[in-house]
Amino acid sequence: MSNHLKRHRGVAIGLAASLLLSSCGLVGGDDKQEVSTDGVSLTGTESGLSNAPKPRRGGALVYGLEAEVGNKGYCLPEAELAISGMQVARAMYDTLTVPDADGGYAPYLAKAVEPSDNYKTWTISLRSGVLFHDGTELDATVVKNNLDAFRGEGETRSPLLFSFVLDNIDTVEAVNELTVRVTTKVPWVAFPGVLYASGRLGISAQAQLDASPEDCANKPIGTGPFSFVSWERGKSLKVRRNPDYWQEAPDGQAYPYLNSVEFRPIQNSDGRIAELQQGELNMMHTSTSADMAVTLPKLRDSGAINLMISEERTETAYLMMNVSKEPLGDKRVRLAIARAIDREALNDKANKGLPQVADGPFAPGVLGYLKESGFPEYNPEAAKKAVAELKEEGVDTKIRLLSSAGPVSVRQAQIQKEMLEAVGFEIEMEVESEAALISRMIGGDFELAGFRNQPGEDPDMNRIWWYGENNPVNFGRFNDPVINKNLDLARSEPDEDKRKEAYEAINRSFAEQVWNVWLWRQPWAVAEAANVHGILGPDLPGEGGPPSPRLVTGHSLIGIWIDTP
C-alpha cells in the first residue's frame, strides 16, 4: 500500500472512530425557536442558577462521563475525541476560538483572528502572559508548531482527523512573538470555526508535542483552567486547579473556582444517574432522551438536582444509506425506506417524544437550516406500492440494518426493522460490538446504519463527510454534484446570504436524493447536585459576550462552583 493510501486509510480510521464513538449509543440558520416538550425546556437554561448564592471557591467536583477516550488519549493532533474526551479536554486545554451565543466564534486564546480582503490570509493575534502548565509561555512559535502538528507537518505527530480537515492550509508562519499568519489554498471564510473544531483543536505545550507517543497521549500539558494529575484508564482522570490561569474572575482572582475535578467514565446512563443521586457524582452528562423526558426533570422538580437540557445547534440522528451497495443505489429504494419510517412514532417509542424530528442535517440557527427541506413524508402505502413494483422488476429488496450492541440502539433498530418489513422489505438486523462496527464502516461493509453527526458547527466542517470525490470518509459513498458545487462555493463566499443559499441547496439536495433518513435533533443534558452551579461559565473574554448554550461538544468548567465544598 502506498504512503498516500496508508495516510488516507489512517484518516478514515480516525474519523470513523471519532464519529462512531459519539454515535454508537444513538439515542437519538435563521429560525431559532423556543422549544419545550411537556414542560421540559430544550433551550439551554440551567435550573437553580437564578436563586443560587454568589460563587465561592474550593471544592472537589466528580463528573460522570458517558465513555472513556480512545486509544490515542489526549495527544490532541492524533486523538479520537468524542463528547467525553472533548469535555475532559476543555478542562486541560484552551482553543484559539470558541462558539459564542450568536452562532459565531469568538477569540479565546487568540485575542483576534482577522482575514485579508480575499480570505486567503488569516492573522491570529495571541493573548500575552498565558502560561502552559509546565511554566512555558504561549507564543506564536508554539501555536505554529501546534497547527503544523495537526496538519501532519514535521516528524513528531501523525494526525488522523486533522490532516484531512486542515488540508486547505498552505502555510503557517510565526510573524513575531504573538502573531501567527495562516495562508490557505482557496479562500476560507469559516476559518475561525476551524480553529475550534468542536473543541478538538486545543493548544498543547511544546513538551507534549515533542513527547513520545505514549507520553503525548498520557501526559497532557495545556493552558487550561486545570492541570493534569493522574489517569487510571476506565476508572478516573484527575485534574487540579491551575493557579496561573489567564482569565480573572469577578473576585479579582484567577478562574476556576473549583480546587479539582475527577472525571469518571460510566457508560450506563442509569448508573450515572444513580451515582448522582447517591452523592458519588456531583455532575454528569447524558444524551439519553428518555432520561431527559422523565427521570431527570422529576429529580430537578424534587430539588435533588440542577439540570440543563439543550438542543442548541446540536447534532442530528439519522439512518445512513451506503449507496454503493445495491439496492440502495436506486433512488426509488431510498425513497421507499424514507416513506416507510414513521419518525414521529419512532421518536415516541425510543425517546418518549422529547427530541424534535429533523428534516435535514442542520439544527435551527445553523446556516442551511430549513423548516421544510422537501424530505419525504411518512407514507406507508406509497412505500408498499414501490416495494411491490421493485420486486416485480426483479430488484432484490433484502437489506442489512447494522446496529451497535447498546440496548437503546438495538431497540431503535428493531423498531425500524418492523416498519421496513411492514411495507415489504426483508431486513436482516446485524448487531456488532463498537470495534467491529467501526471496522465495517471503514471497509464500507454496511447497507443501513444508525448515525449521529453534524454537531452545529459552521457547515463548512461537513465538507469532510459529504464531498463526493475520492473521499475516504464519505461513508454513504454518494457523489452529489449539487452538494459538491455548493460546498466549494460556500467555503470561499464571504457574503453570508449567499453561503446560506448554498447550504440550503445542499439541504434540499439531501432531501431530493434521499441520501439519509433524518430522524431527530439530539438534545444533551448536564445534571448537577443541588449545590453545584455554573455549567456555561462566565461571559467570554473581552467583548466576546455570553457563552454559547451548546452542550453537544462539551461546556466550560471555569465558572462551576459548589455552595458548600
**Residue 218 pLDDT > 50:** yes
Per-residue pLDDT of 122-165, as tens digits, reads: 999 999 999 999 999 999 999 999 999 999 987 778 787 788 88
Per-residue pLDDT of 482-518, as tens digits, reads: 999 999 999 999 999 999 999 999 999 999 999 999 9
| pLDDT category of residue 33 using cuts at 50, 70 and 90 | very low
Per-residue pLDDT of 380-413, as tens digits, reads: 999 999 999 999 999 999 999 999 887 888 999 9
Per-residue pLDDT of 440-474, as tens digits, reads: 877 789 999 988 888 889 999 999 899 987 777 88
Per-residue pLDDT of 307-358, as tens digits, reads: 999 999 999 999 999 999 999 999 999 999 999 999 999 999 999 999 999 9
Contacts of 375 (CB under 8 A, 6+ apart): 338, 359, 360, 510, 511, 514, 518
Class of domain 316-521: alpha beta
What number is the average pLDDT over the span 533-557? 95
Q: At what angle do helices 481-492 and 496-513 cross, to 10 degrees?
A: 160
CA–CA gap between residue 354 and residue 338 (Å, rounded): 21
CA–CA gap between residue 296 and residue 308 (Å, rounded): 10
What is the pLDDT, as a whole number, of residue 438?
67
Beta-bridged to residue 227, according to DSSP, are: 240
What is the pLDDT, as a whole number, of residue 434?
65
CA–CA gap between residue 88 and residue 72 (Å, rounded): 14
**Residue 390 phi, psi (nearest 5):** -65, -40
Selected residue with higher pLDDT from 220 and 34: 220
Per-residue pLDDT of 422-436, as tens digits, reads: 999 999 999 987 657
CA–CA gap between residue 292 and residue 277 (Å, rounded): 15
What is the pLDDT, as a whole number, of residue 435?
58
What number is the average pLDDT over the span 522-544? 96
What is the pLDDT, as a whole number, of residue 437?
73
If you average pLDDT over every residue of the chain, what do you get? 91
Query: Where do you find CATH 3.10.105.10 in the chain?
Result: 316-521
**Residue 21 pLDDT > 80:** no
**Residue 203 pLDDT > 80:** yes
DSSP string of 213-272, one letter each residue: HHHHHHS---SSSEEEEEEETTTEEEEEE-TT-SPBPTTSSBS---SEEEEEE---HHHH
**Residue 29 pLDDT > 60:** no
Helices (H), 152-227: 162-165, 191-194, 206-209, 213-218
Query: Where do you find CATH 3.40.190.10 in the chain?
Result: 32-311+524-562
Per-residue pLDDT of 76-105, as tens digits, reads: 999 888 899 999 999 999 999 999 999 999
Selected residue with higher pLDDT from 67 and 113: 113
What number is the average pLDDT over the span 268-279? 95
CA–CA gap between residue 492 and residue 509 (Å, rounded): 20
**Residue 184 pLDDT > 60:** yes
- Structural domain 32-311+524-562, CATH architecture: 3-Layer(aba) Sandwich (3.40)
* Percent of the chain's residues with pLDDT above 70: 92
What is the pLDDT, as a whole number, of residue 268?
87
> Smallest Cα–Cα separation from 505: which of 519, 521, 484, 479?
484
Tell whether pTM > 0.95: no
Weakest mean pLDDT among 128-132, 157-161, 520-524, 536-540: 157-161
Q: Are strands 532-533 and 561-562 parallel, antiparallel or unpaired?
A: antiparallel
Per-residue pLDDT of 236-256, as tens digits, reads: 999 999 999 999 999 999 999
Selected residue with higher pLDDT from 196 and 29: 196
Selected residue with higher pLDDT from 47 and 155: 47
**Residue 24 pLDDT > 80:** no
What is the pLDDT, as a whole number, of residue 38?
56
CA–CA gap between residue 18 and residue 220 (Å, rounded): 19
**Which three cell numbers, joined as nine digits, stand for 443?**
471497509
